[in-house]
């Protein structure tokens, strides 16, 4: 516990400094005007990826028409969002034209579907994953480079017939809860451009919710895939460890334990597509480990409305209401006993454990070598406006340096506490049950406000540290039209159960809703 308390004290001081530093910004942004993405006028953009693939196979739509529709939508919304690092639109259109040759080479639609289940469907990729010929610097201005090969997950979707369109924005080294860097700048939320998309898969979240993408791939080390999807009202799944390849991701880490809590996973606008993309991304030798979901009518539901910790903000009323709505739905849906609230003390130190687990990992690509040496000098350059990096990348090095100065005993105690926590959770979380918990303490806030809530990311990060699958599911919107989501957490390798519950949540609550204006609580396009 000592390491957790020490980290808490250090970040508590940082939070107080941030509060003071943001006073001028809070005043200035009172004069900013809310903007949202323009409405969707092309019905093709409203079709799930599986439906698009079916229509392309049946020649009801051409891949070229679909790809061109998405290119036009991206061109329309990106000036507002700033979500694209680099595109490959010309190549994508050529590949879409080639789909006609593939269609002609199969006599059976059934065989075509089996070989190319996503034939002709466009997809987008987080900028930390390699797409051949496109920028692969993960938002790091001083390390710009071109990908020579596709990441393993990107190649899997290409092999399934899908067509990559672009790489989307991500913070430097994926080390930020705000998608911003010195390469292309800050990505804005489609529902309110004054607000954040979160990080680090923020570019994907923005494009997805603006109907500028239908499926994509992101990565997650402490909520990096789920929190942006929560802020943007779409779907994202953090898988169980090692079932989806992380090859081709930058930053990377050679340590054997890295794949235990760093994951690559699917993102989509529709829950049915999330399941489809997930199955395509899973490594063939890991499919046997995945457990099949049983009858959802027999599902056991556990829930927690908020994490109570003196430096974790209380979940707001909308967030707690989203959990209640899902719990009440399954209380009426299932034949088992009513949902049970778990002991909140179980997750009391989840934020601290999440941070410590990541910061103590050796050899993760970042600005600094070793254990954060050089971070102090880079911080000085930053304050003198001489650094080419952003503050969060420097802060990562500083916190690493501080944590590694602690005695070995305290670090080992944290690892032991995590194992004990996992044991306690798995006493109630089994192959036929899920945990419903907030993805974050509130909806997307204004740009920069995420730095005031650094510990609230424990809602997601703890499940990376514990190796449990988790799916972010959009449930409702606030009176201002901002999305609110929840997580469905499962036991190890119960990913398909999480995804099945997500599909049921989509049926019950409608899933993704286009960005809207709100007047007196009434949402209007």
The contacts of residue 61 (CB under 8 Å, 6+ apart) are 44, 52, 55
Query: ∠ CA(284), CA(289), CA(293), 5° rounding?
Result: 110
**pLDDT single digits (tens) 135-151:** 999 998 877 899 999 99
Write out the two tokens for 145: 């480079």
For the purposes of burial, counting CB atoms within 10 Å of the CB of 345, is it exposed (0-12), middle (13-18) or buried (19 or more)? exposed
The DSSP H or E segment spanning 229 is helix 226-232
- What CATH number does domain 2-33+51-282+295-512 carry, 3.90.1300.10, 3.40.50.2300, 3.40.50.300, 3.40.1380.10? 3.90.1300.10
For the purposes of burial, counting CB atoms within 10 Å of the CB of 372, is it exposed (0-12), middle (13-18) or buried (19 or more)? buried
- Give which of 214, 95, 221, 70 is closest to 161, Cα–Cα: 95
147-166 burial code (b ≥16 CB/10 A, e <16): beebbbbbbbbbebbbbbbb
The catalytic residue among 63, 168, 200, 470 is 200
Tell me the C-alpha distance between 216 and 228, whole Å. Answer: 13
Write out the two tokens for 521: 């609580």
**pLDDT single digits (tens) 205-223:** 999 999 999 999 999 999 9
Q: Are residues 150 and 130 in contact, defined by beta-carbon separation less than 8 angstroms?
A: yes
Once rounded to an integer, what is the mean pLDDT over residues 150-169?
A: 98
291 has catalytic annotation: no
Q: 374 or 316: which carries more pLDDT confidence?
A: 316
Task: Please tell me the predicted confidence (pLDDT) of residue 411.
Answer: 75
The contacts of residue 450 (CB under 8 Å, 6+ apart) are 177, 178, 196, 198, 199
The catalytic residue among 69, 168, 224, 240 is 224
Once rounded to an integer, what is the mean pLDDT over residues 25-41?
A: 80
Tell me the C-alpha distance between 466 and 433, whole Å. Answer: 17
The contacts of residue 353 (CB under 8 Å, 6+ apart) are 4, 414, 417, 418, 421, 458, 462, 465
- Give which of 299, 296, 305 is closest to 338, Cα–Cα: 299
Reduced 3-state DSSP string for 73-117: HHHHHHHHHCCEEEECHHHHHHHHHHHHHHHHCCCCHHHHHHHCC
Q: 434 or 410: which carries more pLDDT confidence?
A: 434
Would you report the helix, strand and coil content of the chain in percent, each value rounded to 5? 45, 15, 40
Tell me the C-alpha distance between 343 and 525, whole Å. Answer: 41
For the purposes of burial, counting CB atoms within 10 Å of the CB of 39, is it exposed (0-12), middle (13-18) or buried (19 or more)? exposed
Task: Please tell me the predicted confidence (pLDDT) of residue 522.
Answer: 46
Tell me the C-alpha distance between 406 and 426, whole Å. Answer: 30
Query: How confident is residue 270, by pLDDT bands cut at 50, 70 and 90?
Result: very high
Query: ∠ CA(276), CA(444), CA(183), 5° rounding?
Result: 80
Does the structure show a pLDDT above 60 at 181? yes
What is the Cα gyration radius of the chain?
22
The contacts of residue 155 (CB under 8 Å, 6+ apart) are none
Before 471, cis peptide (omega within 30)? no
Q: 358 or 318: which carries more pLDDT confidence?
A: 318
Query: How confident is residue 398, by pLDDT bands cut at 50, 70 and 90?
Result: confident
- Give which of 236, 294, 289 is closest to 264, Cα–Cα: 236
Tell me the C-alpha distance between 473 and 483, whole Å. Answer: 10
Phi and psi (nearest 5°) for 107? Answer: -90, -20
126 has catalytic annotation: yes
Task: Please tell me the predicted confidence (pLDDT) of residue 518.
Answer: 46
- Give which of 455, 391, 457 is closest to 173, Cα–Cα: 391
Percent residues over pLDDT 70 in the chain = 90
The DSSP H or E segment spanning 419 is helix 408-425
351 has catalytic annotation: no
User: Which letter does DSSP use for residue 46 in this model?
Assistant: G
**pLDDT single digits (tens) 216-246:** 999 999 999 999 999 999 999 999 999 999 9
Sorted by where each begins, the domain ranges of the chain are 2-33+51-282+295-512
Task: Please tell me the predicted confidence (pLDDT) of residue 5.
Answer: 59
Once rounded to an integer, what is the mean pLDDT over residues 486-504?
A: 98
The catalytic residue among 8, 55, 126, 305 is 126
Q: What is the pTM of this model?
A: 0.93
For the purposes of burial, counting CB atoms within 10 Å of the CB of 229, is it exposed (0-12), middle (13-18) or buried (19 or more)? buried
Residue 245 burial (CB count, 10 A):
18
* Spacing of C-alpha 251 from chain mean position: 16
Helix ranges restricted to H, 22-177: 23-28, 49-57, 63-81, 89-104, 109-115, 152-159
Q: Are residues 312 and 319 in contact, defined by beta-carbon separation less than 8 angstroms?
A: no
Query: How confident is residue 520, by pLDDT bands cut at 50, 70 and 90?
Result: very low
Task: Please tell me the predicted confidence (pLDDT) of residue 148.
Answer: 97
Does the structure show a pLDDT above 60 at 17? no
**pLDDT single digits (tens) 94-150:** 999 999 999 999 999 999 999 999 999 999 999 999 999 999 999 988 778 999 999
* Spacing of C-alpha 263 from chain mean position: 10
Task: Please tell me the predicted confidence (pLDDT) of residue 29.
Answer: 63
């Amino acid at each position: 516990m000592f390491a957790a308390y020490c980290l808490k004290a250090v970040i508590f001081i940082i939070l107080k400094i941030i509060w003071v530093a943001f006073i001028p910004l809070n005043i200035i942004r009172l004069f900013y005007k809310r903007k949202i993405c323009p409405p969707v006028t092309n019905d093709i953009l409203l079709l799930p990826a599986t439906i698009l693939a079916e229509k392309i196979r049946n020649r009801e739509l051409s891949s070229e028409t679909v790809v061109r529709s998405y290119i036009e939508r991206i061109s329309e919304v990106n000036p507002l969002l700033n979500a694209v690092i680099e595109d490959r639109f010309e190549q994508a259109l050529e590949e879409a034209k080639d789909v006609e040759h593939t269609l002609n080479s199969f006599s059976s639609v059934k065989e075509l579907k089996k070989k190319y289940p996503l034939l002709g469907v466009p997809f987008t990729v987080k900028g930390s994953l390699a797409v051949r010929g496109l920028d692969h610097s993960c938002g790091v201005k001083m390390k710009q480079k071109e990908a020579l090969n596709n990441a393993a997950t990107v190649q899997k979707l290409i092999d399934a017939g899908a067509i990559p369109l672009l790489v989307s924005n991500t913070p430097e080294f994926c080390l930020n809860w705000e998608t911003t860097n010195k390469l292309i700048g800050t990505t804005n939320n489609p529902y309110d451009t004054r607000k954040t998309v979160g990080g680090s898969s923020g570019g994907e979240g923005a494009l997805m919710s603006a109907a500028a993408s239908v499926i994509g791939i992101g990565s997650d080390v402490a909520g990096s895939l789920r929190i942006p999807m929560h802020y943007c009202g779409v779907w994202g799944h953090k898988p169980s460890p090692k079932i989806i390849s992380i090859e081709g991701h930058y930053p990377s880490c050679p340590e054997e334990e890295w794949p235990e809590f760093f994951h690559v996973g699917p993102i989509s606008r529709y829950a049915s597509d999330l399941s489809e993309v997930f199955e395509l991304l899973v490594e063939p030798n890991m499919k046997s480990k995945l457990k099949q979901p049983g009858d959802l009518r027999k599902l056991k539901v556990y829930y927690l409305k908020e994490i109570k910790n003196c430096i974790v903000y209380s979940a707001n009323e909308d967030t707690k209401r989203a959990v209640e709505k899902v719990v009440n739905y399954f209380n009426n849906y299932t034949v088992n006993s009513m949902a049970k609230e778990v002991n909140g003390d179980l997750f009391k130190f989840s934020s601290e454990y999440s941070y410590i687990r990541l910061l103590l990992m050796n050899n993760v690509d970042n600005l600094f070598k070793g254990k954060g040496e050089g971070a102090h000098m880079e911080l000085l350059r930053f304050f003198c406006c001489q650094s080419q990096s952003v503050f969060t990348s420097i802060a990562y090095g500083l916190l690493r340096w501080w944590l590694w100065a602690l005695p070995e005993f305290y670090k080992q105690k944290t690892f032991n506490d995590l194992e004990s926590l996992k044991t306690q959770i798995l006493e109630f979380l089994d192959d036929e049950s899920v945990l419903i918990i907030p993805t974050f303490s509130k909806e997307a806030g204004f740009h920069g406000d995420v730095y005031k809530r650094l510990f609230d990311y424990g809602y997601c990060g703890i499940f990376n540290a514990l190796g449990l699958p988790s799916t972010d599911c959009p449930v409702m919107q606030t009176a201002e039209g901002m999305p609110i989501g929840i997580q469905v957490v499962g036991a190890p390798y119960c990913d398909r159960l999480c995804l099945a519950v997500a599909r049921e949540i989509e049926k019950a609550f409608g899933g993704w809703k286009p960005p809207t204006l709100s007047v007196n609580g009434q949402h209007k396009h």
